[in-house]
Amino acid sequence: MTAEPLIDGISRTLDCTMAEAEERIRAALATQGFGVLTEIDVAATLKAKIDVDRAPLKILGACNPVLANEVLGRDDSLALMLPCNVVIDQTDEGVRVRAIDPISILPGDALTDLADEAAAKLAAAIEAM
C-alpha cells in the first residue's frame, strides 16, 4: 500500500462500528439527495471467491438523481463514472468513511460546476456524520 493515496477523496474517521458508520452515512447521504444504488462487501466477496482475509471494507454506490440526470444530459459517456463511490473501511484509527471527489476524476473543465456541487454534497454528508 502506498503512503500517499493515489486518488483524492473526502474522508473522515469515526469512533464507531462499521454498521453504525454505514447507517450514519446512508442517512447523511439521503439528506443531500443521494440514494445508495449498489453495495459491495469487498472483504466478504474476497473471502468467498479467493479465500483471502482482509479488514472489513464496503463500497456503496451513491447517486444523486438530479445531478446524475444533468451530467448524462451533457454527455452520456459520463455514465462510466456513475455512481459515486463511498467507501467504509476498518483502520487502526477507527472506521474510515471516504467518498470520491468528483473533481479529481473529471476529464476537463466542461462539468466543473456539477462536479463541485456533487463534491460539496458528498463533503456535507460526511461532515454531518
pLDDT tens figures, 69-97 = 998 998 898 888 889 999 999 999 999 99
Hey, how many other C-beta atoms are within 10 angstroms of the C-beta on 77? 9
Mean pLDDT over residues 36-53, rounded? 97
3-state SS assignment for residue 56: coil
Hey, how many other C-beta atoms are within 10 angstroms of the C-beta on 5? 10
Residue 122 counted as domain residue: yes
Residue 16 counted as domain residue: yes
pLDDT at 108: 66
- Confidence band (pLDDT; 50, 70, 90) for 1? low
Residue 1 counted as domain residue: no
Domain of residue 106, CATH code:
3.30.310.70
- Confidence band (pLDDT; 50, 70, 90) for 2? low
**Helix 65-74 crosses helix 112-128 at what angle (to 10 degrees)?**
160
Q: Is the pLDDT of residue 7 over 90?
A: no
Residue 4 counted as domain residue: no
* Domains held by the chain: number: 1
Residue 2 counted as domain residue: no
Domain that holds residue 52: 9-128
pTM for this predicted structure: 0.87
For residue 12, list its beta bridge partners: 97
